[in-house]
Structure 1
């Protein structure tokens, strides 16, 4: 297979730019400052690493402060839980004065569909304007030793269950927000928790999630369903080579995903690159810094474990187990109807080329909702898949809708209205 050969080419690309003083080997480029027009070599190095999928390390979130209520609020980032398949990051606001109307935190379930969670940097920054945010930061499968297990879809569902419990240990319920493929795992985890009566969730919000891909299937859906799991195993799976910790693990490699993403959405990659280069050439270094970070975040891809990749194809695109009420996680039946009293918000884009119309909204019917529970179903105009969580449509339409929904939930349920302080040392930190 190609993994060892491609990895050698990526290492060569990193070696070519290793001496560049901007630190572009890490794929960050402008993190420590910005590139002056005369630093053309640095700018080219950043582009080379993005184009060859050759980042030596993942760009960090690096969110130090955000604007909120007319002032700057500093932000502390920490790892509050760690599992073999990923970590739970906490972004804590530090307002200059205590807020009388403290908001419940958000657990942002990042999709495991090729990108690192840092692609959601703008999403996190927007949410931090008024709430603390927890983010699932899934590990690159190439860095997870084979003895850690297969990293199946079941494992990710149970990880979200665990992470909800971790957030709960800080003293408050949490609004769960899941994006794209994470909607399947998050909805399953929420249903299992509701069935067990454990770790109450304040609300669940699904953005562009493929809950039932039989509805208005997209090109992506049709491709996934028209090829057998054996075909994907033979044509999309490779073996992680040494010296990575995951050497010997079967994965769907990041470099294949990058090629697939570019083929499916060439306009997005070209738009990000054009924005960066046009600002850089025009001498708009502040704008170029923001554009470069966005381009680097989008280009930071990871390997997915074969087991998870094939599980998603089978459960979501081939057998449609979730909408058929036939899905089991580690021997536990997932009953979505258990969420009938849990506030639910679903948001779709009318131009979503990845998740077809109705595929996310159908979750309301599956939950057999109580007429007394808060619910919202929105379709955003002139909105594609990425617009649901990044860019102007996210900031001007999606996020305001979520804020309104959360406010409704918090005012309707006094018991979840305000976070409580966790007892010192109450958070359970697990190591990989």
Structure 2
């Protein structure tokens, strides 16, 4: 039995008194009533205490935190609401206040967040860019350690079942955005729906930095999975949830394993970032220190994945390449991408993506031969890596407007209602690089 989770919890509990002492010392050293608080020594010690507390802390699930957004120069209140829920997922939508002159209804956009260690709040910037002119929904996946064994299993087949149910419940006139890992199950779910004649099928899907065919431009992540194979990951990466959590004894791939892998890929950058934060704390640069806190509060908050989902994904996507080979099976039936005939596809990739190489997402366009060319589009964003595809300045100024235009045009070409509620027939944008 892999006991790494139990050792991790034991280490966390053993450091708890030291973490509490460090936090108390920091508050004492920063207290304005303390005459030593303004000395270089006190600032250095307080900074060291904060760094120790943050490094040994377990970060909880962040909140989206939207209270308002700017629409056409006007601040509009935003509230969060759960509209769909299952044991391993809930779907959140963001209700906006009334804006005079804003056309309604607006396109419905379901953002399928990656189930790869981080919480859906990692896509806060993705959501924020789409909120002004879309009714946005997002999948908020549940930490596997918080789901009791009585709730049953959750594997890749269950994931696809969830998506099919979601597309039905939120449709018609629904558009889907899959960020990274969900590109494969989203494409598979829509293929299953079209093959079985289910309605309504989403009007469009936007696949962003997804591993559709990892044989194209393989990255270090892809090569590792291919070389090690599923059996190695099961022996070394799967453990059980300890007794402190509702999901006790559930077999999982722990979030702290995934986080270790993420950080190891850019270890120098993370070490330098923490060294810079220490300097910011000592010199009193509060704004820079706060930006560091905000980023790492999100980045270091991780969730566990069920063992069956993780291992089936590794085998299906990275080892067997089942979807591009046409051998992927869902509930005993082969997933036929040739069945995709109506749901438009926009593939977006980053030039410097070191997780999903260039061409891996674009493969979806080649694997759907029966989808008309005018319902396919491609965008390669120069100068961005994996996270820049769905977050940051290039996403806000270039990629998000490209997605919005694609959604608008595909909704019109499929006869969906436009912003004023009228059905419009119009040409779809041509694929572009």
Distance 2:160 2:46 in 1: 41
- The 2-side partners of 1:80 and 1:14 are apart by 38
Question: Is 2:58 the partner of 1:54?
Answer: yes
Once the two structures are TM-superposed, the CA of residue 68 in structure 1 deviates from its matched residue by 1.5
Change (3 A) 1:408 1:14: farther
Aligned partners of 1:213 and 1:359 also within 8 Å: yes
- Greater Rg over alpha carbons, structure: 2
Aligned to 2:6: 4
1:122 maps to what in 2? 125
Aligned match of 2:179 = 179
Match of 1:30 in 2: none
Verify: 1:163 aligned to 2:166, yes or no: yes
More RCO (CA 8 Å, sep 6+):
1
Q: CA shift at 1:304, angstroms?
A: 1.1
1:81 aligns with 2:70: no
Q: Could you say if the C-alpha distance between residues 407 and 15 of structure 1 is closer, same or farther in structure 2, counting changes exceeding 3 Å?
A: farther
Could you tell me how far apart the structure 2 residues matched to 1:274 and 1:71 are? 39
Structure 2 CA distance for aligned equivalents of residues 272 and 77 of structure 1: 32
Please point out which of 139, 149, 162 is paired with 2:152: 149
Using the size of structure 2 for normalisation, the TM-score is 0.84
Structure 2 matches for 1:207-226, cutoff 5 A? 207-226=208-227
TM-score (norm: length of structure 1)? 0.85
Residue deviations 1:110-168, cap 9 Å, x none? 11111111111111111112222111111111111122222111111111222223322
Aligned residue in 2 for 1:423: none
Distance 1:14 1:206, change over 3 A: farther
Distance 2:272 2:80 in 1: 30
Report if the CA contact (8 A) 1:349-1:383 is conserved: yes
Counterpart Cα distance in 2 of 1:12 and 1:390: 37
1:398-417 equivalent positions in 2, closer than 5 A: 398-417=399-418
Q: CA shift at 1:414, angstroms?
A: 3.1
Note if contact 1:50-1:296 (Cα within 8 Å) is conserved in structure 2: no
Give the equivalent residue in structure 2 for 1:99: 102
Cα distance change, pair 247–44 in 1 and its aligned pair in 2 (3 A): farther
How many angstroms apart in 2 are the aligned matches of 1:41 and 1:419? 60
Cα distance change of structure 1 residues 419 and 254 upon mapping to structure 2, 3 Å threshold: farther
Q: Distance in 2 between matches of 1:14 and 1:91?
A: 37
Alpha-carbon separation, structure 2, partners of 1:245 and 1:278: 40
Q: Give the CA RMSD over aligned residues.
A: 2.9
| 8 Å CA contact retained: 1:53, 1:300 | no
Which residue of structure 2 aligns with residue 305 of structure 1? 306
1:279–1:130 Cα change, 3 Å: farther
Gaps of 5+ in 2: 27-36, 422-433
Bigger helix share = 2
Structure 1 position 267, deviation (Å) = 5.3
Query: 1:33 corresponds to which residue?
Result: none
